[in-house]
Amino acid sequence: MSADSADTDAQQRKRTRIKLAAWWEANARDLPWRFGRTSPWGVLVSEVMSQQTQMSRVVPYWTDWMARWPDAQALADAPKADVITAWGRLGYPRRVLRLQECARVVTEQYHDELPHTYEELIGLPGIGDYTASAVLSFAFGERIAVIDTNIRRVLSRVFLGVESLGGAASPAERALANRVLPEQGAVGESVTWNQSVMELGAVVCTAKSPLCEACPVADDCMFLKLGRPGLGQRRTRPRQRFQGTDRQVRGLVLASLRELPAGASLPRKDAEKLWDDQVQLASCIASLDDDGLIEITADDMLRLPQG
Ligand code: SF4
């Protein structure tokens, strides 16, 4: 890169940072775990809940959850059936068992305080690169690149002019995220940067229909300049439809167990009325049992885990 183009590159980054910081200031959604209103544990819970569920849907669940179990210790001590029930329709319920395991480790090994290093965070059950980075940035204010699907899409479009193709983050995408991350103390510093880029990807620079006409960084977006080549193109297969999937069947079984009075069980013959395909149903019941989300008693009754 010549000195001139490096200079232009730095200026583009600075302009983008300033515009995004101003946009964030005026437009950030008022989510209850933002703006320093919750503990680091509350931030972690919001990130786990939001992994495969839209943030707006997460809000009522997160609010009730934190009122009931405000810290890791409270969640660690909660009956498993209660946490599975409270997870409600957030989906992908294995996440809740991992979150409770995480709470137990935080309680026992870290005296109910989330650890502050990336290595310690990523060693917790259910915590991957994204969540560890998000907690370090959003809860502890550390300078670290947070890399999720929205951030990858926005950075790739704005700075490279191409679509991010999904799948695992490539080394080039990680390098880009680190290269454009503002220094601590710079205008639009790293925490605001991470949050604002992610928010832009969630509400403006969406995968299929980006609202370029309302975008604060449109003047500097290479993707827009190039005519949005391959808009919406992805490497991964389209998302599987929910209807008829094992996810749907597992969800039906769990929902019927959640509706029972505490400690009650469902006879298997009643569960068999939930779904026509008995082979699929039996396999889903077995997989819920394997995952530890339900128990099958000796007299073939189904129930949420006791204890
Ligand atoms: S101009 Fe369009 S493509 Fe570029 S960042 Fe904004 S919304 Fe995304």
* Rama region for 157: left / alpha / beta (φ>0; ψ in -120 to 50; rest): alpha
Amino acid 152: pLDDT:
95
8: pLDDT strictly greater than 90: no
Percentage of the chain beyond pLDDT 70 is: 95
pLDDT tier at 5, thresholds 50, 70, 90 = low
Check 25, 47, 101, 213 and give the catalytic one: 47
For residues 100 and 123, is the Cβ–Cβ distance under 8 A? no
Q: Identify the domain boundary among 115, 139, 163.
A: 139
Strand partners, 266: 302
Residue 134 lies in a domain: yes
Question: How much is the pLDDT for 12?
Answer: 86
Burial of residue 161 (CB within 10 Å: 0-12, 13-18, 19+) is middle
CA of 205 to the centre of ligand 1 (A): 5
**CA 131 to ligand 1 centroid distance, Å:** 25
223 lines ligand 1 (CB under 6 A): yes
What pLDDT, in 10s, does the model give residues 184-230? 776 558 999 999 999 999 999 999 999 999 999 999 999 999 999 99
CA of 89 to the centre of ligand 1 (A): 32
Q: Is the minimum distance from the CB of 210 to ligand 1 under 6 angstroms?
A: yes
Using one digit for the tens of pLDDT, what is the confidence trace for 227-274? Answer: 999 998 876 555 667 888 999 999 999 999 999 998 899 999 999 999
Residues 258 and 295 in one domain: yes
Query: Is residue 47 annotated as part of the catalytic site, yes or no?
Result: yes
For residues 67 and 188, which has the higher predicted lDDT (pLDDT)? 67
What does the mean pLDDT of the chain come to?
92
Check if 66 has its Cβ closer than 6 Å to any atom of ligand 1. Answer: no
DSSP string, 66-107: HHH--SHHHHHHS-HHHHHHHHTTSS-THHHHHHHHHHHHHH
What CATH number has the domain bearing residue 274? 1.10.10
Return the DSSP state at 238.
Answer: P
For the stretch 110-160, pLDDT in tens is 999 999 999 999 999 999 999 999 999 999 999 999 999 999 999 999 999
- CB under 8 Å to 104, separation ≥6 — which residues? 72, 76
Regarding whether 294 and 158 lie in a shared domain, the answer is no
Name the pLDDT band for 293 (thresholds 50, 70, 90).
very high
Residue 133: inside a domain:
yes
CA of 12 to the centre of ligand 1 (A): 14
Q: Please check the confidence at residue 2 and state whether its pLDDT lies above 70.
A: no
What average pLDDT score do residues 169-183 get?
91
Please tell me whether residues 183 and 104 are part of one structural domain: no
Number of structural domains (the chain) is 3
- What does the alpha-carbon distance between residue 112 and residue 130 come to, in Å, rounded to a whole number? 22
Q: Which residue minimizes the CA distance to atom 8 of ligand 1?
A: 205
What secondary structure does DSSP assign to 171-195, as a single string? Answer: HHHHHHHHHHSPPTTSTT-HHHHHH
Give the three-state DSSP class for 278.
helix
With respect to residue 232, please indicate whether it lies within any of the assigned structural domains: no
For residue 168, the model assigns a pLDDT of 83
Q: Looking at the predicted structure, is the pLDDT value of residue 6 above 70?
A: no
Of the pLDDT bands very low, low, confident and very high (cuts 50, 70, 90), residue 4 is low
The pLDDT score that the predictor gives to residue 287 is 96
Name which residue sits closest to atom 2 of ligand 1, judged by CA: 212
Dihedral (Cα; 297, 306, 262, 47), 10-degree rounding = -120
Q: Is 46's pLDDT higher than 70?
A: yes
Q: Using 50, 70 and 90 to split pLDDT, how confident is the model at 283?
A: very high
Run of H or E including 213:
none
| Residue 235, domain member (yes or no) | no
Domain match, 201 and 255 both:
no
Pocket flag, ligand 1, residue 122 (CB < 6 Å) = no
Q: How far is CA 138 from CA 34, 95, 236, 259, in A?
A: 8, 21, 29, 36
CATH number at residue 197: 1.10.1670.10
Out of 152, 163, 220, 223, give the residue to mutate to test ligand 1, the one with the largest number of ligand atoms within 8 Å of its CB.
223
Our answer on whether the CB atom of 155 is closer than 6 Å to any ligand 1 atom is: no
Mean pLDDT of 80-101: 94
- The two three-digit tokens of residue 150, written as one number: 């929205």
Find the domain containing 275 and state its range.
246-303
Final residue before a domain boundary, out of 178, 196, 225 = 225
Query: Of 122, 139, 156, which residue constitutes the final position of a domain?
Result: 139
Does residue 207 line the site of ligand 1, with CB under 6 A? no
Helices 246-258 + 278-291 axis angle, to 10: 70
Picking from 228, 51, 62, the residue whose alpha carbon sits closest to that of residue 148 is 51
- The pLDDT, as a whole number, for residue 79 is 95
Whether residue 125 is found in the same domain as residue 181: no
Query: Phi first, then psi: what are they for 153, rounded to 5°?
Result: -65, -45
Where b means 16+ CB within 10 Å and e means fewer, 263-293 reads eebbebeebeeebeeeeebeebbeebeeeeb
Same domain, 207 and 258: no
Identify whether residues 22 and 159 lie together within a single domain.
yes
Residues 88, 91, 96, 98, Cα dihedral to 10°: 170
Ranges assigned E (strand) in the chain: 266-267, 295-296, 301-303
Whether residue 204 is found in the same domain as residue 279: no
Determine if ligand 1 sits within 6 Å of the CB of residue 157: yes
Residues 128 and 180 in one domain: no
According to the model, what pLDDT value does residue 262 have? 87
